[in-house]
Structure 1
Amino acid sequence: MLRTTVGSTARKAPPRTAAAFIRGVLRAATAAALTAGALVATAGAAQAANTAYYVDCSAATDGSGTQASPWNTLATVNARTFGPGDQILFKRGATCTGQLYPKGSGAAGSPIIVDAYGTGAQPKISGNGVPDAVYLYNQEYWELRNLDVSNTASTTAVRTGVRIVLNDFGTGDYYRIKNLNVHDVSGDLTKASVGISLDVYGTTTQTKFHDAILDGNTVRHVDRTGISNSTTWNCNPGWTGVCSGAGTANAFVPWTGIVFRNNTISDTGGDGLIMRNLDRGLAEHNTVYDAAQRSMENNAGLWTVAGDGDVIQNNEVYRVKRQPGTDDGMAFDADIAADSSVFQYNYSHDNEGGFMLFCGQCANATGGGSVVRYNLSQNDKSRFLYAVGQTSSQVYNNTVYLPAGSTTKIIEDGAGKTTKVALDSNIFYNLGTGGYSYENAAKAANYDWSNNTFYGHHPANEPTDPGKSTADPLFTNPGGGPGGYGLQASSPARGSGLVITNNGGKDYNGNPVPAVCRPDRGAFQSSSFTDSSCSPLLANGTFDSGASAPWTLSPNAAVTTAASHNGGRSLKLGAAPSTGEQTIAVLPNTTYIFTGWMKTGAATDTVELGVKNHGGSQLVAPTTSTTWVQKGLSFTTGPSTTTATVFCYHNIGGGSAYCDDLQVVRK
C-alpha cells in the first residue's frame, strides 16, 4: 500500500496568541534598547581590523587590551567599535559584571569573534539584572563562543542571557553561538524572557536573520524560554487583525539558514526551544528536559510555528510539565501555520502533556502537511497525539509504548478545530487503559488508519484499519529505551507496513528502509530486504510520468497537472459518471489492501475507490472531501480468482474529482 509524504504551499501566519506576543516583545525591545544605552558609553572610532583584544576582569587596572595588559571592565569593551577579523578574548576563571555590548560588524570570511583564553573555567559574564547580559544590535558576522552567562536579580522582569536584535536592518548575515553556558536568568514568565534569543523588530525595512547556527550550548534554570527567536515581520494575508505597527500588515519575511544543533536545555519556566518564521529551519541532536516548570500557560518542549519545511530530528525531550488547567506540556508541536514540518528520529518520554501537538488551524490561519515518522514515544502521559487543527498530515512508522497503569490516550481530538491525518504502520503497544477521544463521532472519520499494530488494550472505539494487527509485535525489550524496540525474528510486524514514497530512506537508527518492498511497522527496521526483488501490484499509481496506461479511462478522465497530492500530477475525473480502472494480477484466497488519495471539486460531489471482479461483492470507499484525503479498503479474492479490477470513480457531481498515489499491497 502506498502513501506519499505530503507538502503544502500555504503561507504562514503569526504565532499562537500573536497580538499579545508581539506587544510583549516590542515592549521588551524598547526597554532593552533604552537600558542598554544608559549602561554603555558612546562607541569610539573603529580600531584596526584582525586584532586580538584581551579582557581580564580580575586584573587590578584597565590596560591597553593586550594579553600582557588586558582590559578589566565591560565598559571598555562596549566603548569600542570592532572590525572584521577582530577577536575579543575573555580570561578563563575571571568574572565580568554587567552587560557585554561590543559594537561593529565583521565581514564575509572575517567575522568578529568573542571567545575565551587561558585555562580553567569558562569566563563569566554576570549580568546582575540588566535587560540582556550579552547584547548585539543591528550587527552581523559575529561568533560568540565559550562563555558562562548568567543574569540574576532579586525581582523578575523581561530579561535574557544572550540577545541579538535586528531592527529595520534588512538581512543580518552569519551568526555563530557555540558552547555557551547560559543559566540563572531571572526573567519574568512572558515569552520575551529567554536564555538565548534572536529577535527582529521594525516596521519600515523588511528584516530577517540568515545563516545563524546555535551549536553545543547549555541553557538551564531560565525564565521563561530556553532558546527562541521572534520577528515583527510575521503577518499573513490570511490572518488579519493581529499585526502591530504600520508596514507589518500582509508582510511575511521568513528567516533562512537557521540551525539549532547539539544544545541542552533544562529547567525552563516555559518552552524549551521555539522555532518561529523559518524557511526550512533545522533542529537536531538537541536535548530538552524539565521544561515548563513554572509558567502557568501552554508550553511545549520543542516546537515550530509559522515556518515552511522545518525539520526536527534526532532530539530527546523528556519530563515536560503540564501545568494544571493548561492543554500542552508535550514534547513536540507543529503550531499555527507550520507548513510541511518533519518530525523524525526523535525520542520522547515521560512528558506530562504527551508526544505531539497539531495546532495548525486557529482563527483563520492555515497550516498542515506535517510528517511525523520514525519516532519513539515511551511512557508519555495525557495523549500520544493532541489534535487541534492540521490538514493533510501523516503519522507513520512510529513506536509508542504505554506501560501498565497508563491512562494515556492514543488520540485526543478537540478544541473545535479539524485535523485530517493519515496514520500508517505505527505500533501502539498499550498496556494501559487509554483509548481514542474525539470531540464528536463525526470527527473520527478524519483519521485514516492503515497497517497499524494495536497491541494490549482494545477500547470499543479502536479504529477500523484494513491492515490492522493486534498481535504482539515481539519487541526485544519493551520499555527499555531506544535499544528495546527491535523486532524479534518471528515478529508479525516485520515486512507488513505500508510502502510510502518520500519516506526519508532510513529508520530511527539510521538503517535503510524499503522504497519498494513492504517495510517493518514501527520506528525500527529489523528485517532485511532487497527492493529489486519487489514490484508493485498496481502500475502507474502516481500518474507522475504523464501517461495514463495501463489505466482504462472514461472519455472525460485524463492525467492532469491541475492538482496533485504529490509529484505534480494526478488522475482528473470529469463530471459524473467518470472513472479510471486497472485490472491487476492476484492470487486466489488472498487478502489485499487498496488505498489512494482523493478529493472533489465541491462538497456536493462524491468520489470513491473501489474493487470489483475479485471473487466477491464490489467494495467502495467514498469521500466528499474537497481537500486530499486517503481512503482504503481490504478485499479477499475468491478460491479461483487470478485477477481483480480496482477503480477510482466520480459517481456524483457535475464538477471534477481527483485521485492520486494509488497502491495495492498484499496483506
Structure 2
Amino acid sequence: MRKFAVVPLALLLLSVGSIAHAAPAAATYYVDAAAGNDAANGITAGTAWRSLAKVNTVALHPGDTISFKRGGSWNGTLTLSASGTEEAPIVVGAYGTGNLPKIGGPVTNCVHVTGSHLAIGDLRASGCDWAGFELAGDDIVLDTVQADANVVGVSIVDGSDSNTIRWSTIKDNTKMSKLTPKEVNPDDDSGAFGVLVHGNDNVISRNVISGQYAFSYDYGFDGAAVEIFNGNRNLIEYNTTSDNESFTELGRNGTGKTADGNVFAYNSVTSTKAQGAFLVTRGARSNIGPVRGTVAVNNSVSIPNGDGWSCDAGCGAGILKLRSNVIKVGKKVGYEDAFDSGDPAESADEDRSVYAGSVYQFALGPNSVKADPLFTSSTDLRLKAGSPAIGRGENAGFPYDLAGKPLAGITRFDAGAYQF
C-alpha cells in the first residue's frame, strides 16, 4: 500500500541531523531503559540516560533529537514542552533493533506534547488512562507510531492545530472514560477513540486504525476510528480502518464552538462486529449541532452488521455532502430528515454513489444507484470487473486512490476508495 511520495522518518531524522551539525546548539540524546544511567551525559548510545524523569528535565532546542532504544519499556509520561521551528523541528525517535520503544501507564497520558514543531516517530504509547499521545501544541508530526490499550490513541486538544498523524497503527483503544448504568445517566458513556480531534486543520492520513470497540450501557457498544468534536477543517484521508464501532461521529458544544468543514476522503471502512456505522452527523436541532459542511468523498464501506450514514436533527445540503462513495451494509444504508418531514431542504447533498443494504431512508441523487458494488471481499474493498461503481464517480481533486494509483490524467473516475 505504501506507494506515496512521503519522506520516511529515517530520512527526516537524517535531515534534522544535518541541521543539527550546522547549528552548534543542536544535540542528540540517547535513552536506554536497561543499560542507561541518568548520571551519564546522554550524548552517545554508550552513555545513554535511563529514565523519562531525566528526559523530561532536559531543555531541548530546535534541531535536538531524543532517541529511545528499541526493545525498551518505560512507565510514566514523556513530557515534551519545548518547541522546534519549521526549519529545525525537535525530533523524537528510536535507535537500535527490535520492537518499538514502549511508553506506558498507569498514568493519564503516555506522551504529552505541549510544544510545537516536533517530529515524533517510532514510539509505542500503551496502557494509559487517557491518551497514548496527547497533542496540545501546533505543527506536530506523528509518523509510524503505535497507540493501543488507552481510552484514546491520539488526542488533539482544543487549540492544537495543523498537526499530522500518518503511517501509524492505532488499535484496540478499548477503555471507556465514562461508563455508567442507564438508570444513573442514560446518555453519557464515552470512550474507545482511535483519534479524538478537538483542534483545527489537522491531517490524519494513511494510518491503520482498528479495534476501537467497547461495551456501553447506553449504546450497546461504543468507539470510533476518528471522532471530531469542536474541530474544523480537518482532513481524514487514505486510512484503512476495521472493526471500530463507528468510523466517524461529529459534534459540537459550547458557545461559539463549531465542527465545520471536515473532509473524509479515500478511506476504507470495514467491520465484522455485531454493530457499527460509517458516519454520524447532525443539524441545528441537536444539542451538539449543527455540524456544517462535512464532506465524504470516495470512501468504501463494508459493515455487514451495521449502518451507513446518518444526518439528523436538521439535515440539509449545508450539513452533509456525499460524493462517489460505495457503501454496503446489513442494516440502514442512510438517513436524512427529509425521509420523515417530506421537506427536500432537509436532504443531504448526495450523488454518484453505490449503495447496498436493507433500509433506505433518504433520496438517492440522480447518479446514485442501489446495487451490489462487487467488492473483492467484505474486507478487501477493491472492485471486481463489472462493478456499478466503475466510472460512476467524479474528480474530487485527490492525487491517488487508496492503493496509491495516480489519478492525474484519467477521465473516468470510479466511486469508492479504489480506482479499478
**TM-score by structure 1 length?**
0.47
Partner of 2:282: 359
Partner of 2:172: 267
Deviation at 1:218, TM superposition (A): 0.9
Relative to structure 1, the CA distance from residue 259 to residue 391 in structure 2 (aligned partners, 3 Å threshold; closer, same or farther) is farther
2:194 matched to 1:278? Answer: no
1:589-608 alignment to 2 at 5 Å?
Answer: none
Partner of 1:481: 380
Relative to structure 1, the CA distance from residue 448 to residue 174 in structure 2 (aligned partners, 3 Å threshold; closer, same or farther) is same
Of 239, 242, 267, the match for 1:315: 239
Say if 2:200 and 2:232, in contact at 8 Å, map to a contact too: yes
Distance, in Å, in 1 between the alignment partners of 2:203 and 2:418 is 23
Distance, in Å, in 1 between the alignment partners of 2:83 and 2:388 is 60
Letter in 1 for 2:112: R
1:393-412 alignment to 2 at 5 Å?
Answer: 393-402=320-329, 406=330, 408-412=331-335
Say if 2:80 and 2:113, in contact at 8 Å, map to a contact too: no
Partner of 1:65, secondary structure, is coil
Relative to structure 1, the CA distance from residue 513 to residue 453 in structure 2 (aligned partners, 3 Å threshold; closer, same or farther) is farther
Relative to structure 1, the CA distance from residue 493 to residue 84 in structure 2 (aligned partners, 3 Å threshold; closer, same or farther) is closer
Distance, in Å, in 1 between the alignment partners of 2:397 and 2:295 is 10
Partner of 2:247: 331
Distance, in Å, in 1 between the alignment partners of 2:38 and 2:296 is 56
Distance, in Å, in 1 between the alignment partners of 2:399 and 2:55 is 50
Distance, in Å, in 1 between the alignment partners of 2:71 and 2:241 is 32
Partner of 1:424: 351
Letter in 2 for 1:83: H
Say if 1:53 and 1:87, in contact at 8 Å, map to a contact too: yes
Of 300, 307, 317, the match for 1:383: 307
Deviation at 1:65, TM superposition (A): 1.3
Of 124, 132, 135, the match for 1:195: 132
**TM-score by structure 2 length?**
0.72
Say if 1:425 and 1:522, in contact at 8 Å, map to a contact too: no
- Which shifted more, 259-268 or 84-93? 84-93
Distance, in Å, in 1 between the alignment partners of 2:97 and 2:165 is 27
Relative to structure 1, the CA distance from residue 508 to residue 425 in structure 2 (aligned partners, 3 Å threshold; closer, same or farther) is farther
Relative to structure 1, the CA distance from residue 53 to residue 519 in structure 2 (aligned partners, 3 Å threshold; closer, same or farther) is closer
Partner of 2:101: 147
Deviation at 1:311, TM superposition (A): 1.7
Letter in 1 for 2:132: G
Relative to structure 1, the CA distance from residue 216 to residue 183 in structure 2 (aligned partners, 3 Å threshold; closer, same or farther) is same
Deviation at 1:299, TM superposition (A): 3.2
1:101-158 deviations in Å (ceiling 9; x for gaps): 47755455444444444x3435xxxxxxxxxxxxxxxxxxxxxxx6311113xxxxx7
Letter in 2 for 1:335: G
Say if 1:49 and 1:82, in contact at 8 Å, map to a contact too: no
Deviation at 1:84, TM superposition (A): 3.9
Q: Which structure's CA Rg is the greater one? A: 1
Distance, in Å, in 2 between the alignment partners of 1:383 and 1:163 is 35
Letter in 1 for 2:105: N
2:113 matched to 1:164? Answer: yes
Distance, in Å, in 2 between the alignment partners of 1:263 and 1:310 is 17
Deviation at 1:522, TM superposition (A): 5.4
Partner of 1:121: 98
Say if 2:110 and 2:125, in contact at 8 Å, map to a contact too: yes
1:344-373 deviations in Å (ceiling 9; x for gaps): 111111152211112354338433222212
Relative to structure 1, the CA distance from residue 58 to residue 424 in structure 2 (aligned partners, 3 Å threshold; closer, same or farther) is closer
Unaligned 5+ residue runs, structure 2?
A: 1-23, 176-191, 253-257
Partner of 1:218: 146
Deviation at 1:315, TM superposition (A): 0.9
Deviation at 1:229, TM superposition (A): 1.3
Deviation at 1:99, TM superposition (A): 4.4
Say if 1:105 and 1:112, in contact at 8 Å, map to a contact too: yes
Of 173, 176, 185, the match for 2:116: 173
Of 39, 43, 50, the match for 1:63: 39
Quote the sequence identity (%).
23
Distance, in Å, in 2 between the alignment partners of 1:73 and 1:478 is 47
Say if 1:374 and 1:508, in contact at 8 Å, map to a contact too: no
Say if 2:68 and 2:94, in contact at 8 Å, map to a contact too: yes
Distance, in Å, in 1 between the alignment partners of 2:50 and 2:388 is 68
Q: How many residues align?
A: 358
Say if 1:383 and 1:412, in contact at 8 Å, map to a contact too: no
Distance, in Å, in 1 between the alignment partners of 2:81 and 2:230 is 32
Distance, in Å, in 2 between the alignment partners of 1:99 and 1:477 is 43
Distance, in Å, in 2 between the alignment partners of 1:309 and 1:114 is 27
Partner of 2:165, secondary structure, is strand
Letter in 1 for 2:61: G
Letter in 1 for 2:232: D
1:542-589 deviations in Å (ceiling 9; x for gaps): xxxxxxxxxxxxxxxxxxxxxxxxxxxxxxxxxxxxxxxxxxxxxxxx
Partner of 2:148, secondary structure, is strand
Relative to structure 1, the CA distance from residue 360 to residue 273 in structure 2 (aligned partners, 3 Å threshold; closer, same or farther) is farther
Deviation at 1:76, TM superposition (A): 4.0
Partner of 2:59: 81
Deviation at 1:282, TM superposition (A): 1.3
Partner of 2:26: 50
Partner of 1:163, secondary structure, is strand
Distance, in Å, in 2 between the alignment partners of 1:109 and 1:289 is 34
Relative to structure 1, the CA distance from residue 272 to residue 105 in structure 2 (aligned partners, 3 Å threshold; closer, same or farther) is closer
Deviation at 1:176, TM superposition (A): 1.6
1:500-539 alignment to 2 at 5 Å?
Answer: 504=398, 509=403, 510=405, 512=407, 525-526=419-420
2:148 matched to 1:227? Answer: no
Partner of 2:366: 450
Say if 2:336 and 2:347, in contact at 8 Å, map to a contact too: no
Distance, in Å, in 1 between the alignment partners of 2:298 and 2:211 is 24
Say if 1:354 and 1:380, in contact at 8 Å, map to a contact too: no
